[in-house]
Amino acid sequence: MTLLPSYYYSPLLPTTPPKLRSPLHTPHRRSRSPLPFLLRCSSAASSEMAGSTGSTLYPSHRCKTLHLVRHAQGIHNVKGEKDYKAYLSPELFDAHLTPLGWEQVSNLRKHVHKCGLAKKIDLVITSPLLRTMQTAVGVFGGESYTDGINVPPLMVENAGNSNHLAISSLNCPRFVAVEKCRERLGVHPCDKRRSISDYRPLFPAIDFSLIRSDVDVLWKADVREKDEDLASRGMSFINWLWTREEKEIAIVTHSAFLSHTLSNFGKDCHPTIEAEICKSFANCELRSMVLVDRSMLGLDSSNYNYPGKIPQGLDLPSDVAQEKQPEKSHAN
């Protein structure tokens, strides 16, 4: 697989008021085999070309665009930057966003509407932790929820001590919670999730059906997930994305998960491109990447390709005709 930079949003960039979004069609899911890992950044035929400049061409149906977002500022970010030992505090269990974090969410929301990205997203995948779900619904969700609308809210009012109005799911893509894109597991209480049965009333329109266990069986109080295990989990998540039909996918996740997942990519790119792929994420930063399936195992067909020659007719190219009929060509 190949992962290449496509688009950036920094929370430090100025923003302007959002535009209204239109209803989105969300494709259905279907299952297929995970793809083997293949890391390339160019179409170079040999390793001698690694690091050189050049262009790459791929069939569009073998590509997905991933819009990667790190959650906005959480209470653990504030406490932990002042004192790293604070990450061990039980008071930071399943850390929620700070008021500043919600401002960051609002600014990113304005940005994705202004640039038109909000209308393109087919699916929003979120880590099942409070801060990521708050960020996901705040950025990619609907407007403020109003009673009487015949759709469940993405988030109820004041969910997770947010002091935030309810958020509607009207005219939104599908939201799915996925365990594979959680933050590094273990030891830090801020990275432990609540029971899914606790989340469902807070985020009624988020789909939690892919999470098998109601309680958090992955987080261990005395074992911190190793770098290599986190990177491996990240690649498992990337491979899983090929089981989805959606092409434009927003993924709201965490700093360490992004860092170690993206470290798997860019080794044969120009150093500038590798740096773009692998640099650390700020709170509520958006970075878009094009993910390419080069394994030849993808099952999706193009929605736009057209076979031609309908109805049937003679269509031999002139160069081929010259090769097949050299005597006639010379005679002319």
State which residues of the chain have pLDDT below 70. Answer: 6-54, 145-149, 296-300, 326-332
Pairwise CA distance, residues 40 & 58, whole Å:
12
∠ CA 225-65-1, rounded to 5°:
60
The whole-number pLDDT of residue 238 equals 95
**In whole angstroms, how large is the CA radius of gyration of the chain?**
23
The whole-number pLDDT of residue 146 equals 65
Q: Tokens 């190949």 appear where?
A: 2
| Residues 113, 138 contacting (CB under 8 angstroms) | no
Distance from chain centroid for Cα 157? 26
Active site positions, annotated? 71, 183
The whole-number pLDDT of residue 261 equals 96
Which amino acid is present at 149?
Answer: I
β-bridge pairing 286-292 and 63-70: antiparallel
Phi and psi at residue 312, to the nearest 5°: -65, 145
Pairwise CA distance, residues 323 & 195, whole Å:
70
Q: Tokens 């009012």 appear where?
A: 157
Give me the domains of the chain, ranges plus CATH numbers.
Answer: 62-292 (3.40.50.1240)
pTM: 0.82
Structure tokens at 141: 């969700």
CA dihedral sign, ordered 304, 305, 310, 314: positive
